[in-house]
Amino acid sequence: MLDDRKSKILQSLVEEHIRTGAPVSSQAILAHGSLDVSSATIRNELATLESYGFVTQPHTSSGRVPTRHGYRYYVDHCSPGHLRVATHARIQAFFADVHREVSRLLKETSGLLTDLTHLPAVVIAPERAVGALHAVHLVRLGGSAVLVVTVAESGGVTQQIVSLEVEASDAQLAEAERVVEAVYIGRARSQVGNDARLTATDVPDVVRRIIAPVHEELQEMQSSGRDLFVGGTSQLAELWADLAVVQEVLGLLEREAELQRMLSESTEGTSVRIGEELGDEMDVAIVSAPFGSDQSGRLAVIGPMRMDYRRAIRIVEEVGEGLEEILGTDHGDDG
């Protein structure tokens, strides 16, 4: 833990480096840091911070820049920034128009995050918003084939052909459909598990043999992953001068499964992960926050370690709160 003076000097250095992108001198900290100390004192404290591994000096005659540990300390001890009235108004206006299906809302939210932060953004749909079903229909196709039609609460419709081990009558299909709907409607598919109603002994054997493969197909659809929306990939070249980093970040954004895993590993609440905390030493940081009634959704912005963390945190949290309010209003709680 740094003492108050070192902490303030490090904060000033980080914020000045975020603002300019250049090494920060003791004179710049004195001019912008509101510190009642001499330039010599700041130089001595910077030398100490360098020995602690919080800052480094790229060249002998240059100022200093934060290391990953310096950014980490700064993030852990800073408070979210204050947004301009115009930014608040834009977020509020975005969520005032709620007449959109969930998938469209989340896609447009990734664009909103990019517009506000000028960083690539990712939004992962909450399990409830996309996974919960509004209706399930079983349609006979002939022989032992049946078409399983699902209508999600988000408005999405899927159709999948399932082969049964039996040829079912219309009445038996209707009974199987009734049982499946009773189990699945209004619940995220991952919460269904092996619900006892799916194998209840008071259900005819033929009907259970219809239900089993339909249930298996619905679970397989769930395991394929939640919807993920990415915005702002065109910003990459402006954020990183190193083309190798641009290509690596672009590759990450295209690997949806890895991106979902990375964000799902974040701690509860707002998370900031920097550099090698992401499993790589590249110049990347991710600010993310949960949303949704069960907090299973996640939204994030991705940028260089020299991002404006205070502003990014505030925007991600405020947009997340807006999403949570909309989804809670539209879909209610799981039950």
Residue 310 backbone phi and psi in degrees, to 5: -60, -45
The CATH code of the domain that includes 298 is 3.30.450.40
Dmax (CA) for the chain in angstroms is 89
Q: 241 with 270, same domain? A: yes
Residue pLDDT, tens place only, 49-72: 999 999 999 887 789 999 999 999
Task: Give the range of the structural domain holding residue 210, as residue numbers without chain letter.
Answer: 130-223
What does the pLDDT read at residue 326?
81
How many domains does the chain fold into? 3
* Residue where one domain finishes, among candidates 191, 223, 255: 223
Task: Give yes or no for residue 155 having a pLDDT over 70.
Answer: no
Q: 260 with 196, same domain? A: no
What does the pLDDT read at residue 118?
96
- Using the 8-state DSSP alphabet, how is residue 278 labeled? G
Task: Give yes or no for residue 32 having a pLDDT over 90.
Answer: no
Model pTM? 0.71
The CATH code of the domain that includes 177 is 3.30.390.60
Q: 182 with 312, same domain? A: no
48/135: higher pLDDT: 48
Q: 135 with 275, same domain? A: no
The CATH code of the domain that includes 30 is 1.10.10.10
Return the number of other C-beta atoms located less than 10 Å from residue 308's C-beta: 18
Q: 17 with 114, same domain? A: no
Q: 106 with 240, same domain? A: yes
Of the candidates 98, 99, 110, 6, the residue with the CA atom closest to the CA atom of residue 48:
6
Specify the 3-state DSSP secondary structure of 134: strand
Q: 113 with 250, same domain? A: yes
**Position 89 confidence tier, pLDDT thresholds 50, 70, 90:** very high
Q: 147 with 230, same domain? A: no
- Using the 8-state DSSP alphabet, how is residue 234 labeled? G
Bridge pairing between strands 271-274 and 285-291: antiparallel
Q: 122 with 237, same domain? A: yes
Q: 187 with 323, same domain? A: no
Positive or negative CA dihedral for 48, 54, 59, 65? negative
The span from the CA of 28 to the CA of 33, in Å, is 8
* Residue where one domain finishes, among candidates 223, 241, 271: 223
The span from the CA of 271 to the CA of 158, in Å, is 34
Q: 105 with 167, same domain? A: no
Task: Give yes or no for residue 177 having a pLDDT over 80.
Answer: yes
Task: Give yes or no for residue 99 having a pLDDT over 80.
Answer: no
Q: 122 with 230, same domain? A: yes
- Using the 8-state DSSP alphabet, how is residue 143 labeled? T
* Residue where one domain finishes, among candidates 49, 77, 105: 77
